[in-house]
Amino acid sequence: MLDDVNVLKQRDSQGALDVAGQLYKQVAYQCELRDADNDGRTLTGVVVAGMGGSALAADVVKVLLGQFLTVPFEVVKGYSLPAYAGASTLVIASSHSGNTEETVACMNEALERGCQMAAIATGGKVEQIAREHQVMFAEIPHDTQPRMGMIYNLRVLLQILEEYGLITREWCDDLAAAEQWLHEESDSWTKQMPVSHNYAKQLALTAVGKTPVIYGGSLMAPVAYKWKISWNENAKNVAFWNYYPEFNHNEFLGWTSHPVEKPFVVFDLVSNLENERTLKRFELSDKLLSGKRPKATTVPITGDTLLKQMLWGCVLADFVSIYVGILNNVDPTQVDLIEKFKKELAG
């Protein structure tokens, strides 16, 4: 089915696969920061306020820069900022639509507290507030869904951190330099590539009809979360995620009390950059859970740097979940129920 051009065209009528095939271009996105001047105050922390796909890049950055940032970095997914956020805190409001009510609430709270601020959006209320208060603003393109605009968001988030002197230019340069490599890697997952040579299609066929449970190590935790989001929105499939070593302290036992014939598929997103003890945990856990859960499908994450591995894993997530959506006979692009929920909540 996944090699049938007519089926792909019919079930992916809005071209989600075509969008996925162009994701690599986002790494080189050039964004002009509006109202980029800042007052040079000393910053003691960073808070990114965002929800869903608009918070994904912040989750990635928190891990990616974990050994490099010299100030705390927190991601808020709700209506309120932490109590410590004040004049020395950089608050970055991130909302693809610009109208996410939780993010707008945090932005207004940041203004009241006199925080240093920046914003990322395609427009909406976030842009309006930024214009009114001369807040640094990064506009991202409105050519894709939030979950598939993660790399745009990552690019401008790094640019904002650079603008405030928290990281060096090399982070944005390294991201842009990955374009050709990511292009070559993702080309092997496109719809033109047959199942026999298409890793994304093969993983989708492994997963169809089942509930995926996705695990990463500490470095791949945000990528595992990305897989979960992509499965939810592209495949219209319930999915769950967790990460090692936390898994072994609780969820590990959750697999032991039911028969192996559980309607799940387990994916282990394994990076060779993880702590060697974490890598041993993957192997030992699958061994000890043999006969108690479906055997894990190991996805070896490709790339010679953590940045490349995160990009690779996130783009693969979209391809695989779109193919599962096609197998599920659902439109991978539409998120109508979420939009309906937002309208009723606003009413």
> Are 46 and 92 in contact, with CB atoms under 8 Å apart?
yes
d(CA 175, CA 63): 15
Verify cis geometry, omega within 30 degrees of 0, for the bond prior to 245.
yes
Percent of the chain exceeding pLDDT 90 equals 85
Q: Is the fold of 5-16+189-327 the same as that of 22-179?
A: yes
> Are 203 and 299 in contact, with CB atoms under 8 Å apart?
yes
Q: Indicate whether 154 pLDDT > 80.
A: yes
pLDDT digits (tens, 9 = 90+) for 99-147: 999 999 999 999 999 999 999 999 999 999 999 999 999 999 988 777 7
Residue 333: the pLDDT is: 86
> So what's the architecture of 22-179 in CATH?
3-Layer(aba) Sandwich (3.40)
* 22-31 mean pLDDT: 95
Cα angle for residues 174, 179, 185 (degrees, 5° grid): 120
Order of strands across the sheet that contains 264-270: 240-243, 211-216, 264-270, 297-300
Domain regions of the chain by residue span: 5-16+189-327, 22-179
If phi over 0 gives left and psi between -120 and 50 gives alpha, with beta otherwise, what is residue 52? Answer: left
Task: Label residue 334 by pLDDT band (50, 70, 90).
Answer: confident
Residue 196: the pLDDT is: 97
Q: Which residue has the tokens 């950055």?
A: 61
Tokens of 220: 């791949």
* 320-339 mean pLDDT: 87
- Tell me the pLDDT of the chain averaged across its residues: 94
Q: Indicate whether 260 pLDDT > 70.
A: no
Q: What are the distances in angstroms from CA 338 to CA 212, 298, 342?
A: 21, 32, 6
Residue 261 burial (CB count, 10 A): 7
Tokens of 63: 């891990």
> Are 65 and 74 in contact, with CB atoms under 8 Å apart?
no
Tokens of 3: 């090699």
Q: Which residue has the tokens 């026999």?
A: 196
CATH code of the region 5-16+189-327 = 3.40.50.10490
Task: Label residue 95 by pLDDT band (50, 70, 90).
Answer: very high
Burial 100-110 (b: 16+ CB within 10 A, else e): bebbbbbbebb
